[in-house]
Amino acid sequence: MPKVVVDVMPKPEILDPQGKAVLGALPRLGFDGVTDVRQGKRFELEVAGEVTDEVLARVHEMAATLLSNPVIENFTVHVDEAVADTPDVLS
C-alpha cells in the first residue's frame, strides 16, 4: 500500500514545552551536546491506488484543514516509497 506522510511541526517562534522537557532530560541521561529539541507529529496515510498529484493535493488539503493548525504549526507532505517497498521483516 502506498503511504503518504504528513509531518507537522510547531512553528519556530512558538514555544514547544514538550521539546523543552525532552531537552531537559537528555543531559540527565548523559546525552550531551544537544542544544535544542522540537517535537512534532507524523501522520502516515495509507491510500488506495496510486499516489497521483490529485491525491497529494487532497492530502495537502487534509493537512491544512485538520491535521495541522496553521496558526501554530507548519506541515510537509511526502510519499514514503521505502515503507511501501520494504517487506515486513517482523512477519
For another protein, give the closer residue by CB, 18 or 76: 18
For another protein, give the closer residue by CB, 24 or 27: 24
Identify the residue whose cell numbers are 491506488: 49
Least Å distance between CB 33 and another protein?
23
Measured in degrees and rounded to the nearest 5, phi and psi for residue 31 equal -95, 95
DSSP secondary structure letters along 55-90: HHHHHHHHIIIII--TTTEEEEEEE-HHHHHS--TT
Taking CB under 8 A as the rule, does residue 21 contact another protein? yes
- Residue among 18, 27, 42, 57 that touches another protein (CB under 8 A): 18
Q: Which residues bind another protein (CB under 8 A)?
A: 10, 13-15, 17-18, 20-21, 66-67, 69, 71-72
